[in-house]
Amino acid sequence: MIVFRTKHHADIMMLDQVALNMIRLMEHSEVVPGALTDDEVEQAFNRLSQAIKTASAQSGDSWDDDSVSMSHRGQPLLDLLASAMRHGDYVTWEKSLL
């Protein structure tokens, strides 16, 4: 598990592969632990937001498919990034012991 943190939002935990995929979609280094400075957060938010709006990111939402779409998986991280932008905070991620 990888946990994303910022000062004014609840922590977000994701399975390693999903989290690394999100970091890749933000076009950031897949190094864990990692961070976004307050100056990088808006750009990462915009990149992730655009990436999860694509048709391929929307798949997995049908009733006969039990997979979860990247769009749904990415929304909590977008919320965390939006909070960091509003407050001028940085974002970090690291391996969780859970």
Q: In what order do the strands lie in the sheet with 91-95?
A: 9-14, 2-6, 91-95, 34-36
Query: What gap in Å lies between CA 9 and CA 64, rounded to an integer?
Result: 34
What are the pLDDT tens digits along the chain (98 aa)? 999 999 999 999 999 999 999 999 999 888 899 999 999 999 999 999 998 887 565 565 454 555 777 888 899 999 999 999 999 999 999 999 87
pLDDT for 46: 96
Peptide bond into 33 cis (omega under 30): yes
Residues 93/35, Cβ–Cβ less than 8 Å: yes
pLDDT for 20: 94
pLDDT for 63: 45
Residues 6+ apart with CB under 8 A from 43: none
